[in-house]
Amino acid sequence: MNKYSELSNTVSPEDFRDKKPLALFTAYYRPEMKLFVIDMLCAFFVAIIELFYPMITRYILSEFLPGKEFAKFFIFISIMILAFLLRAGLQFVVTYWGHIMGANIEMRMRYDLFTHIQTLSYRFYNNNRTGQLMSRILPELFEITELAHHGPEDLFISFLTLTGAAIALFFISPKLAILVLLIMPILIIFTIWLRKRMSKASRRVKEGTAGVNTELESCLSGIRISTAFANEASQARKFQVSSAKYRQARAGFYKVMATFFSGMEFLIGSLGIVAIGYGGYLIMRNEMNVVDLIAFTLYIGIFTSPIRKLTNFAELYQAGMAGFQRFVELMREKPDIVNGVEPITVNRFDGDIKFENVTFSYNDEEEAENVLKNLNLHIRKGKTTAIVGPSGSGKTTLCHLIPRFYDVSAGAITIDGIDIKRYDLSSLRKNIGIVQQDVFLFAGSIRENIRFGRLTASDNEVQEAARQADLHDFIITLPEGYDTIVGERGVRLSGGQKQRISIARVILKDPSILILDEATSALDNETEKRIQSAIARLSVGRTCVVIAHRLTTIRGSDCIVYLDEKGIREQGSHDSLMASDGLYHRLYNSMIEYSTFS
């Protein structure tokens, strides 16, 4: 098995809260230390060979050519060729394995980020768009890869080369070396001056990228709606606006970058001119010879190479660290829903659910409007409880609180007499199955989508779940059977077929508590009857909570709860509520009249 097929988190959540970004960044090198050491060693020998080249050239030109020792001359030339062949091999290792190391670090960061965002509650996803999250997981982390590889390597080689070249320059001509090095403070000041501007510009580019991804994700997800309403031109204009903002951000970055690089090229180029000019003057005064000036100019080239590397590193650092800081910001996002101290793990619930003075608001602010307020409800084990009422009364919200997709603002929800906050989250959710009106299917096969209910299920178990969901006979008529690809969000299937896949998925999960959130409201009567039969089989022996739009489907429920913006107004069996001539009675009659009229 590939050693990366089962990763674990490289940096703990506590480290993200306590450590600074640079310490977090270096922590990702620990698993790749072997590659890192190899990369640095090869980079070291590459720099050494480059440093010795001008000095050997100076020695050959000074010692062998004037004395016409041609044999020794060609021996040294051959040695230099072999040295540069070795350098080429070392450079291959640096380039290939160094990038592999960077890709490994990127992969670990991406894994940490993906596993972290899966711990965040529905509230987080309500406030963050998919395109923005995709941008942080994909393109921004690629730039971190480049920084992870080239950053330490460029700094190490630059420091080594600058130090070695400076020593060689002083060895050849102290006067000329001092003059050249006097220009260095100007380079440093210039670099610091533009560093902050590049950092701000790079961050704006990251934000622009996220904006384009968000708009693109929205447009592609709604492409069928856009086409149906003939609004393609409007969508194109919206995308053009976000693209223009992104272009503007990049233009600002390129302007700062152009200023930086053109200024650096001028200052670096001036070093060579100064060396030749002053070196020529020293030759005229017999204080230097031509061979020394040639060697000196070669070292100027070596001396300016790390300066160029450092300028490239400055750009790389700004882009990479801007992305890494956004990565850290997301990793520091605290999950709203977490396990308590010593969480309780259960294999299966009896399924007795109680809401005790439950208050809930989607916004944590004190003045936020409560969706539910001081709600008390007993959902008895093994019974079917239907929740009905007008839209916006909190029916779906009530159901989302049971598996802790959100936590209550006040009060408590208990299952089998224990506050759900005390249960292990995974254990709690494995015991709750949800079938919703808006079915989500992954863009894989029918088999994969059903097996998502229990990943360890065998093919026979998958097929049995499909049979119970009244789906098997349809599947075997398909050319590829259970291996048929459903398309993105199940686009190649009808609404009823998607719904039955979701039911089969829950059958395979075999939960002790079942939540049906308007599971048949968008279907035609014939399809609804088939799905109701499948749901009836699924509901046997389980605690069921049903949100129903068509009230005729919940007449046989053990208890019907009428919920509106004022809370629970009525509850009882269908017959008792009809006899009371209250809110449920009026709602039921209005639905019957609407159905008859339709």
- Asked if residue 83 belongs to a domain, the reply is yes
How do the pLDDT tens digits run along the chain, 598 residues long? 455 555 667 777 778 877 887 888 888 888 888 988 998 899 888 888 877 777 777 777 777 777 777 788 888 888 888 988 998 999 899 888 888 888 888 888 888 888 888 888 777 777 776 666 766 666 667 777 778 877 888 888 888 888 887 888 788 888 888 877 777 777 767 766 766 677 677 777 767 766 666 766 666 666 656 665 566 677 777 777 777 777 777 777 778 777 777 777 777 777 777 778 878 888 888 888 888 777 777 777 777 777 767 767 776 777 777 778 888 888 888 888 888 888 999 999 999 999 999 999 887 655 557 889 899 999 999 999 999 888 888 888 899 999 998 889 899 999 999 999 999 988 998 999 888 877 778 778 889 889 888 888 899 999 998 888 888 888 888 888 888 888 766 667 777 788 888 888 888 888 999 998 876 655 566 666 776 777 777 778 889 998 877 777 788 888 999 998 888 999 999 889 888 888 888 888 876 654 444 4
310 with 438, same domain? no
pLDDT of 291 reads 80
Maximum alpha-carbon separation in the chain: 122
**Which residue, among 567, 531, 572, 566, has the nearest Cα to 550 in the 3D structure?**
531
What does the alpha-carbon distance between residue 327 and residue 14 come to, in Å, rounded to a whole number? 15
- Asked if residue 30 belongs to a domain, the reply is yes
Q: Which long-range contacts (CB under 8 A, 24 or more apart) does 218-226 make?
A: 218/129, 218/131
**Do residues 566 and 503 lie in contact, with contact meaning Cβ atoms separated by under 8 Å?**
no
**Which residue, among 548, 543, 538, has the nearest Cα to 558 in the 3D structure?**
543
**Which residue, among 249, 252, 239, has the nearest Cα to 212 in the 3D structure?**
239
What does the alpha-carbon distance between residue 551 and residue 574 come to, in Å, rounded to a whole number? 10
Q: How many domains does the chain have?
A: 2
What does the alpha-carbon distance between residue 358 and residue 409 come to, in Å, rounded to a whole number? 7
CATH of the domain at 269: 1.20.1560.10
94 with 220, same domain? yes
**Which residue, among 584, 557, 562, has the nearest Cα to 395 in the 3D structure?**
562
pLDDT of 387 reads 92
The DSSP annotation for 260-291 comes to HHHHHHHHHHHHHHHHHHHHHHHHHTTSS-HH
Query: Final residue of a domain: which of 331, 362, 391?
Result: 331
Query: What angle, rounded to 10 degrees, do the helices at 130-137 and 70-117 form?
Result: 150
**Do residues 570 and 388 lie in contact, with contact meaning Cβ atoms separated by under 8 Å?**
no
315 with 438, same domain? no
Signed CA dihedral, 201, 204, 210, 215: sign only: negative
Distance, C-alpha 491 to centroid of its chain: 25
pLDDT of 596 reads 44
132 with 245, same domain? yes
- Asked if residue 64 belongs to a domain, the reply is yes
Phi and psi, residue 119, nearest 5°: -85, -10
- Asked if residue 577 belongs to a domain, the reply is no
- Asked if residue 226 belongs to a domain, the reply is yes
What does the alpha-carbon distance between residue 31 and residue 133 come to, in Å, rounded to a whole number? 26
Helix ranges (H only) for 138-229 are 139-172, 174-181, 184-221, 223-228
Please list, in sequence order, all residues whose beta carbon lies within 8 angstroms of the beta carbon of residue 170, skipping any fewer than 6 positions away.
Answer: 177
- Asked if residue 584 belongs to a domain, the reply is no
Domain range spanning residue 457?
432-510
- Asked if residue 388 belongs to a domain, the reply is no
CATH of the domain at 502: 3.40.50.300
327 with 438, same domain? no
- Asked if residue 70 belongs to a domain, the reply is yes
Lookup result for tokens 């009229």: 597
317 with 449, same domain? no
Query: Final residue of a domain: which of 458, 476, 510?
Result: 510
Query: Final residue of a domain: which of 279, 297, 331?
Result: 331
